Amino acid sequence: MMWIKLHKYTLVTAALSAFAVLVARQWDYDLWEAVGGALTNFDLLRGHEIIFFGFFVVVGYVMDVHHRRKRHRLLRTLSEERLQAMKSTMTTVHDIVNNALNTLQIFRLEAQQSAALSPDSIRQFDSVIFDTAERLKDIQDSDVFVLNKISEGLVGLRECRRA
């Protein structure tokens, strides 16, 4: 099925050319003369029909290659734009969350000085802040993002890594 998608113009031109050759053989019609050809005396193997068929198949193949390259360039551009948008968004999110984590560090210092929290609670608090900052940095430094559909209209990040 993928081959058909990649070579749709080739298949269409091959089918049309084959149809034209079959119709010409059925009614003994000289295709080369109809197209304005110069090989009307080449009737031994009816090679002009092969040339006629081959010419249009080549035209279809060239169209397929052109459209495939054009689509690939478009997809690459879109992918690069999405990656840039994701990185810009992550930079902003990283900045906002980092500011919040810095503010939490101030509360942590106050809690530690007033002995409002046990040393174990302060270590857990530090661990949460450190882990959150590391995860944000990993996401910001990533080039490849694998998305996960959480629910209808909501997509989350399943995996991120460097390319």
Under 8 Å between Cβ of 135 and 86: no
**68-89 pLDDT, tens per residue?**
889 888 888 888 888 788 778 8
**Helix (H), strand (E), coil (C) string for the chain:** CHHHHHCHHHHHHHHHHHHHHHHHHHCCCCHHHHHCCCCCCCCCCCHHHHHHHHHHHHHHHHHHHHHHHHHHHHHHHHHHHHHHHHHHHHHHHHHHHHHHHHHHHHHHHHHHHCCCCCHHHHHHHHHHHHHHHHHHHHHHCCCEEEEEEEECCEEEEEEEECC
Under 8 Å between Cβ of 48 and 55: no
Across 33-37, 49-53, 59-63, 111-115, the highest mean pLDDT is recorded for 111-115
- Which has the higher per-residue pLDDT, 31 or 40? 31
Q: At residue 38, does pLDDT exceed 50?
A: no
pLDDT for position 36: 53
**76-126 pLDDT, tens per residue?**
888 888 878 877 887 788 888 888 888 888 888 888 888 888 888 888 888
- Which has the higher per-residue pLDDT, 44 or 32? 32
Q: At residue 43, does pLDDT exceed 70?
A: no
pLDDT band at 32 (very low <50, low <70, confident <90, very high): low
Half-sphere exposure of 2 (CA within 13 A, CB side): 0
- Beta bridge partners of residue 146, listed in sequence order: 159
pLDDT for position 95: 83
Average pLDDT over the chain reads: 76
Residue at token pair 């106050």: 110
pLDDT band at 40 (very low <50, low <70, confident <90, very high): very low
pLDDT band at 42 (very low <50, low <70, confident <90, very high): very low
Please name the residues in contact with 11: beta carbons below 8 A apart, sequence gap of 6 or more.
4, 60
